[in-house]
Amino acid sequence: MRKRWGDLVTWFGDAIRAAEGCTHGPLAFSHAVPHGTPNSALGSVMMTRIESGAQVFVHASDIQLLDETTVDSLIDWRPTTVLAGGPPLYLGRLGVAERERAWQNALRLAEHVKVVILDHHVLRDSSGEAWLKALSETTGKRIYCAADFMGRPRRLLESRRQELYDDMPVPPGWHGRYARGAATIEGYFGDMGDRAQCAKRARTDDRQTD
């Protein structure tokens, strides 16, 4: 996060301003809220409110529904549509109490907000689909993921991470080389029915850049 901030400062210079707690026309920004559980090592995030006529959209990615105060603040903004990061159900360290807290906070959101879209963490595991379905059944209204809301098919790539790496392996050290700009993802594009050939091309590209 510090690197991203540094890059933004380098790009925008003196024009960049901290937005926490500020309102500018139809835009409003929250103060820092927990990135999941309060007082965790994960730091904080900022929610954004966008008003357009009678519609109010709130983007609250990464809140994970694990802090009641954050959800209270979100509801107080009176959104008509919310896009938020759901709980990371795939993490074994997420305890029973935290899972119940996320569930209750999701119920409260659904009670106060017309359209609720939960994505990101909650769909990093296939159990998230069952969680969203149970939430819809309990609330009596559809709780969307982002793909549902856009009318697109669900493609839970993160939940299939191991399967995809098995089908399209990358050579040792590839991620580091990619981060340095010394490897590309070009070999992975194209017909996914020919995954082995795609992976072979990528491995060849890596050997050439090494």
**pLDDT tens-place string over residues 117-167:** 999 999 998 899 999 999 999 999 999 999 999 999 999 988 888 888 888
pLDDT band, very low/low/confident/very high, at 202 (cuts 50, 70, 90): very low
- 41 and 112 in a single domain? The answer is yes
- 74 and 116 in a single domain? The answer is yes
Q: Is 82 inside a domain boundary?
A: yes
What confidence tens digit (pLDDT) does each residue in 186-196 have? 777 655 444 44
- 129 and 189 in a single domain? The answer is no
- 86 and 182 in a single domain? The answer is no
Name residues whose C-beta falls within 8 Å of residue 184's C-beta, 6 or more positions apart in sequence: 178, 202, 205
| H or E element, residue 50 | strand 48-52
At which residue do the structure tokens 């400062």 appear? 9
> What pLDDT does 189 receive?
65
- 94 and 175 in a single domain? The answer is no
- 128 and 176 in a single domain? The answer is no
Domain containing 189: what range? 168-209
- 132 and 194 in a single domain? The answer is no
The Cα-based distances of 56 to 82, 109, 153 in angstroms read 8, 14, 26
Higher pLDDT, 16 or 150: 150
- 80 and 136 in a single domain? The answer is yes
> What pLDDT does 190 receive?
55
- 181 and 116 in a single domain? The answer is no
Q: Is 73 inside a domain boundary?
A: yes
Q: Residue 123: CA atoms inside 13 Å, Cβ hemisphere, count?
A: 19
> What pLDDT does 187 receive?
73
What confidence tens digit (pLDDT) does each residue in 41-52 have? 888 999 999 999
Name residues whose C-beta falls within 8 Å of residue 45's C-beta, 6 or more positions apart in sequence: 32, 33, 34, 35, 61, 62, 63
> What pLDDT does 129 receive?
95
Domain end residue (candidates: 109, 129, 155): 155
- Looking at the 3D structure of the chain, how many domains does it have? 2
**C-beta atoms surrounding 49 within 10 Å:** 20
- Do 122 and 128 form a contact (C-beta atoms < 8 A)? yes
Q: Averaged over 1-26, what is the pLDDT?
A: 89
Parallel, antiparallel or unpaired: strands 27-29 and 23-24: antiparallel
Chain centre to alpha carbon of residue 8: 21
pLDDT band, very low/low/confident/very high, at 205 (cuts 50, 70, 90): very low
Using the predicted structure, report yes or no on whether residue 200 has a pLDDT greater than 50.
Answer: no
- 205 and 104 in a single domain? The answer is no
Q: What is the 3-state secondary structure (H, E, C) of 59-110?
A: EECCCCCCCHHHHHHHHHCCCCEEEEECCCCCCCCCCHHHHHHHHHHHHHHH
- 82 and 50 in a single domain? The answer is yes
pTM: 0.80
Burial of 152 (0-12, 13-18, 19+ CB in 10 A): exposed
